[in-house]
Amino acid sequence: MSKIGVFDSGLGGLVITTALIKALPQYDYLYLGDTAHLPYGDKTSGRILKYTLDSISYLIKQDCKLIIIACNTATSICLRYIQQKFIPSNAPDVKVLGVIIPTVEVALSSGEKKVGVIATQATINSHIYQTELQKINPNIDVIEQATPRLVPLIEQNNFKEMEDIIKQYLSQLRGVESLILGCTHYPLIKEYCRRQMPSVRVISQDELIGKKLKDYLNRHPEIEHCLTQRQSRKFCVTRKNIKSEQIATQLFANIQIEEIAF
């Protein structure tokens, strides 16, 4: 079976997978969360690249013909290298896509002049959102805020502390007209953000990625024809975690998560 693979540093990417399955339920999906090495946001670029290449290689071996890197950190650090170097040399029939460009396209669609971004430290350090936003609109004002405490709390299913911490982070983004949630985990806290910034357009990747992938497949029938349509779903992690699996069960009823080793 030629599957759609979805890769994330943890189980936050299941939110993206849920959105993809809702939009495109006919295809076969394989999810891989590299929970043994999360969070990626505090790792060096070299480590992030190694972990991402290991995960992409695994998905390729499992016959994934289209791979979505749901992790913003991995996208910002690794996607260009994977698309330009790794895939042409190792799996030229596979397509690998990220989540940042589709998010930027949506962020620019309403004409706001001041955009905030919250993301992991590594994503913020890369300035990928600022670069891509200003590449299209050089006059846009981009304010970036690293939010390193959020992913660990989400993966631990600890939402009790979340609202106060989000409030502290968002207080640094006064005056923004829209807010990009630049991490795959952050759709799980989008309502917290909307409560804190009720007049700001909050851009959450789970709300855009399904439509974007559908559009992509419509424009690339040669890829769509390679994907089998048996509605199979498989979920894998590199290390099991009871607390994060509690989140997974909220997204997929009766989910079975398999621990794998490369």
Q: Active-site residue numbers? A: 71, 183
Strands annotated E in 167-238: 178-181, 201-203, 233-237
Residue 77 has what DSSP assignment? Answer: H
CA 217 to chain centre: 19
**Residues composing the chain:** 262
Spatial contact of 205 and 16, defined as CB atoms under 8 Å apart: yes
Distance CA 126, CA 102 (A): 17
Query: CA–CA distance from 253 to each of 3, 202, 248 (Å)?
Result: 21, 27, 8
